[in-house]
């Protein structure tokens, strides 16, 4: 069984959520039971990590000794399994209010400044900034590297996260070596939402609110699991309407989404 970490998914393929009669509550350290077919690739989403097996004497096994690694949650929450055509995504849904960086998280940050070859990036208010290397961009060299300024917004991936060391970001897709949609987000408006809602919209591209917006206007969007959503349209008024929809929809019931979206656009004369 192949296990991969979460990578950006920009293709519009349908996601089907497996909805068990009772969702499983898991705690840090619990072993997650893998229900996927042995031949199916597994992708690790937020709050799930791969823990290497240990031998009988307590020592860590290497790959030649044991392939039976296990999945464990890094936070308390509900285990979710989403099935795509090529992979099953395992992640933990938790209603936390403070974002903690984890490797391969997709995040949106704001440039605070720079030193040496690094930019300091804010992922959340009142949280320590993370680092973005100026060479962590596709084909970046001393003569050809991005020059970001304070206040610029970037879409990136958490590439390194260790204790007592600042987390690092990268704007390179680890699979293709290209930008993969990462980099400077030019223009648009940045919206703060609940962490759980950001994860929902990221993993459910056919979420009703996004489908309702698609019918109203053309827009670009990037979603970070740190509770940030960037959205851009052809004009400011339409962008403001989309922002109001995203912020308000956190408290809507599914049956009211279409009606509420229409009301917001009508109120702004769109």
User: In this predicted model, what pLDDT tens digit does every residue of 210-242 receive, in sequence order?
Assistant: 999 999 999 999 999 999 999 999 999 999 999
Please check whether residues 204 and 251 belong to one and the same domain.
yes
Residue (of 222, 226, 225, 224) closest to 210 by Cα position: 222
CB under 8 A, 24+ apart: contacts of 26-30: 26/73, 26/76, 26/77, 26/78, 26/79, 26/92, 27/73, 27/76, 28/72, 28/73, 28/74, 28/75, 28/76, 29/72, 29/73, 30/72, 30/73
Residue 9 has pLDDT above 50, yes or no: no
Domain that holds residue 160: 106-184
Please check whether residues 142 and 197 belong to one and the same domain.
no
Q: Which two tokens stand for residue 217?
A: 């206007």
Residue 142 inside a domain? The answer is: yes
Residue (of 264, 238, 236) closest to 249 by Cα position: 264
Per-residue model confidence (pLDDT) at position 129:
92
CB 138 within 8 A of CB 172: yes
Q: Which residues of 2-37 are buried (b: 16+ CB within 10 A; e: fewer)?
A: eeebbebbeeeeeeeeeeeeeeeebeeeeebebebe
Count up the domains in the chain and report the number.
Answer: 3
Q: Which of 45, 72, 93 is the last residue of a domain?
A: 93
Please check whether residues 197 and 133 belong to one and the same domain.
no
The band of 87, judged by pLDDT with boundaries at 50, 70 and 90, is confident
Which of 255 and 44 is assigned the larger pLDDT?
Answer: 255
Which of 189 and 178 is assigned the larger pLDDT?
Answer: 189
Q: Which of 159, 184, 209 is the last residue of a domain?
A: 184
CATH number, position 22:
2.40.50.100
Per-residue model confidence (pLDDT) at position 51:
76
Residue 98 inside a domain? The answer is: no
Residue 99 inside a domain? The answer is: no
Q: How far is CA 270 from the centre of its chain?
A: 31
- For the stretch 149-173, pLDDT in tens is 999 999 999 999 887 889 999 999 8
Residue 78 inside a domain? The answer is: yes
Residue 7 has pLDDT above 80, yes or no: no
Alpha-carbon distance of 15 to 20, in angstroms, equals 16
Alpha-carbon distance of 189 to 205, in angstroms, equals 20
Alpha-carbon distance of 71 to 3, in angstroms, equals 10
- For the stretch 95-116, pLDDT in tens is 777 888 888 899 999 999 988 8
Pairing state between β 77-83 and 87-93: antiparallel
Alpha-carbon distance of 78 to 94, in angstroms, equals 7
Please check whether residues 208 and 256 belong to one and the same domain.
yes
The Cα-based distances of 158 to 34, 39, 112, 127, 262 in angstroms read: 25, 28, 17, 15, 37
Please check whether residues 34 and 83 belong to one and the same domain.
yes
Q: What are the backbone angles phi and psi of residue 240, rounded to the nearest 5°?
A: -65, -40
Please check whether residues 87 and 7 belong to one and the same domain.
yes
CA distance from start to end of the chain: 50
Q: Which of 145, 168, 184 is the last residue of a domain?
A: 184
Please tell me what DSSP assigns to residue 256: G
> In 3-state terms, what secondary structure has residue 239?
helix
């Amino acid at each position: 069984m192949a296990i991969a970490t979460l990578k950006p998914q920009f293709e519009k393929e349908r996601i089907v959520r497996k909805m068990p009669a009772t969702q499983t509550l898991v705690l840090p350290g619990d072993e997650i039971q893998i229900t996927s077919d042995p031949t199916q690739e597994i992708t690790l989403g937020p709050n799930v990590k791969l823990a290497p097996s240990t031998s009988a004497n307590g020592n860590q096994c290497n790959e030649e000794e044991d392939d039976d690694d296990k999945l464990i949650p890094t936070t308390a929450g509900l285990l979710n399994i989403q099935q795509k055509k090529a992979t099953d995504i395992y992640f933990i849904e938790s209603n936390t209010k403070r974002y903690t960086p984890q490797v391969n998280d997709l995040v949106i940050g704001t440039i605070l400044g720079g030193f040496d070859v690094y930019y300091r990036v804010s992922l959340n208010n009142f949280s320590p900034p993370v680092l973005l290397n100026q060479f962590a961009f596709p084909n970046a060299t001393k003569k050809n590297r991005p020059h970001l300024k304070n206040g610029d917004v970037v879409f990136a991936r958490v590439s390194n996260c260790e204790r007592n060391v600042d987390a690092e970001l990268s704007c390179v897709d680890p699979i293709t070596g290209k930008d993969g949609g990462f980099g400077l987000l030019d223009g648009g408006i940045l919206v703060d939402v609940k962490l759980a809602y950001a994860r929902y919209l990221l993993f459910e591209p056919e979420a009703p609110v996004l489908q309702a917006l698609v019918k109203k206007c053309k827009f670009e969007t990037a979603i970070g699991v740190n509770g940030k959503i960037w959205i851009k349209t052809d004009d400011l008024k339409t962008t403001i309407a989309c922002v109001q929809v995203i912020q308000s929809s956190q408290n809507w019931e599914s049956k009211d989404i279409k009606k509420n979206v229409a009301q917001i656009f009508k109120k702004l004369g769109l």
